[in-house]
Chain A
């Protein structure tokens, strides 16, 4: 090392031009990423804050449990709220088991072949199809061809088709996260594929699987296009406070469509009602997502490796 470069003794740890520059770059990059993160949070806070501020006058339990009145210019949300619950629950009852079990087959049983390749390709592409296309498919397949008519069932099946590929994809990810060595150890012990899946693979991927499924609740609840031609109506009067007020062979109201209607189609709506509707829609979705996070945290604490 050149010792006569500087008067002061130079050690390996003395700051040099290069290390100064590194430190500076390090700080700049950290701030850059922090700003980007804030830009992401800011609109969310603004949206939620603005909605809550505007909705505050109408928000109450009564708002949730009474039907719209005066040609939807006032009143509550009971019919659309219950309708959305019906649509989400029925669609997930269909798509969750099919999606999860299909993913188990694709990931645990199927060998690489033209069949699995086409299936995986289909899954990826279906996940990217715009919801309005799903809507048209639903009209053709469920409303007309299957003869279900415009009904909760037809709308739910359409939503199920829409959420299915995403559930398959998220379940596959969860299954892949279970180390291959666990499966090999089980096979070496004389376990069948099914015993391996039941005792090791599923118990260790269930949190990821459930999270993937629950996140589809928000998609199913929020979509308007797939349901507006297949089963959702502008207005329907149902018994207030009765959880079984809808029949799945009939049409229903839905929060997303209701919000669209009262914001654009109905004149002179009471100030606050559309905002209240949005708050209920966003709030219930956030509630479900929060439940997913709690569940995931709970199951992760039991994670075993």
Chain B
């Protein structure tokens, strides 16, 4: 159960994967505490360029916390302490000067779709506007591109001025993906995006993610083990704040992953 051991396994096997293995995110001995309660007990792993990294594990295993550390929104939660380092393109995020710039490099999609109480257009244009883009034609272009990418454009192109919150759950989730893409992130983090979405929409979004993979790195936190199997190049298994194992998805879902706990979780014989 040593996370460091798991890390070396992950690195070794990545060469078999065939994809580039430039590390975009390097997490080293990351520890997070909420008050006295430990949420991550020293995890280390890398995320490679243009991969989909599936992150699986039961509730309370630190997956969401990990995403919040990466875009530094954990800072909004009172009484948290973070130790260890997270590097983005070799730069330590804790000392990064422009934290808003950091957050714009990372697209974040949350479990329940949060349509901001704005029009569909304004939802997608929100981030570009906060970043200072004012030109109508530029915004139009961003809105169309992102809604296209999120496979929502055809459904909403005639009613961009209606409220984002009036869309159905699945549409709202695609809207939040479009919004997460609006600031042209290098990394897209999805936190259990399919929790409130029907299976058909989930499949559509999964197709979207496969396409997006060519342009960006994707961290896919999911409760659906099979979703990781379908999409992820590599999969990391978290349990109670520890990184149990990270390896290519093929190995994690094979009959002999390095850890018995991984096998049990993936095959539903856990506990």
A interface residue numbers (CB < 8 A to B): 111-112, 179, 181-192, 195, 199-200, 203-204, 303-305
B115 touching A188, Cβ below 8 Å:
no
Chain B residues 58-90 with CB under 8 Å of chain A are: 71, 73, 76, 78-79
When the two chains form the complex, which single residue of B110, B131, B163 contacts A185, counting CB atoms closer than 8 Å?
B110
Distance in Å: Cβ of B131 to nearest Cβ of chain A: 7
CB contacts (< 8 Å) of B176 on chain A: these are: 185
| B-side interface residues, number (CB < 8 Å) | 30
CB contacts (< 8 Å) of A195 on chain B: these are: 130
CB contacts (< 8 Å) of A179 on chain B: these are: 114
CA distance A188 to B180 in the complex (A): 8
Distance in Å: Cβ of A300 to nearest Cβ of chain B: 13
Given A184-B114, A195-B130, A304-B165, verify A189-B73 contact (CB < 8 Å): no
CA distance A236 to B179 in the complex (A): 63
Distance in Å: Cβ of A60 to nearest Cβ of chain B: 48
B103 touching A190, Cβ below 8 Å:
yes
Assess whether B118 is interfacial by the CB under 8 Å rule: yes
CB contacts (< 8 Å) of B114 on chain A: these are: 179, 181-182, 184-185
Assess whether B101 is interfacial by the CB under 8 Å rule: yes
Q: Which partner residue on chain A sits nearest B179 by CB separation?
A: A189
A181 touching B110, Cβ below 8 Å:
yes
CB contacts (< 8 Å) of B183 on chain A: these are: 189-190
B163 touching A188, Cβ below 8 Å:
no
A186 touching B100, Cβ below 8 Å:
no
B110 touching A189, Cβ below 8 Å:
no
Assess whether B9 is interfacial by the CB under 8 Å rule: no
Q: Which partner residue on chain B sits nearest A181 by CB separation?
A: B114
Q: 13 more A-B contacts (CB under 8 A) besides A186-B116, A188-B110, A191-B130?
A: A181-B112, A182-B114, A185-B114, A186-B126, A187-B76, A188-B108, A192-B130, A199-B118, A199-B126, A200-B117, A200-B118, A305-B163, A305-B165
Q: Mark B89-119, 1 if CB is under 8 A from A, else 0.
A: 0000000000011111010101010111110
CA distance A198 to B121 in the complex (A): 18
CB contacts (< 8 Å) of A303 on chain B: these are: 117
B73 touching A188, Cβ below 8 Å:
yes
Given A111-B78, A304-B165, verify A191-B116 contact (CB < 8 Å): no
A184 touching B110, Cβ below 8 Å:
yes
Distance in Å: Cβ of B109 to nearest Cβ of chain A: 9
Q: Which partner residue on chain B sits nearest A183 by CB separation?
A: B76
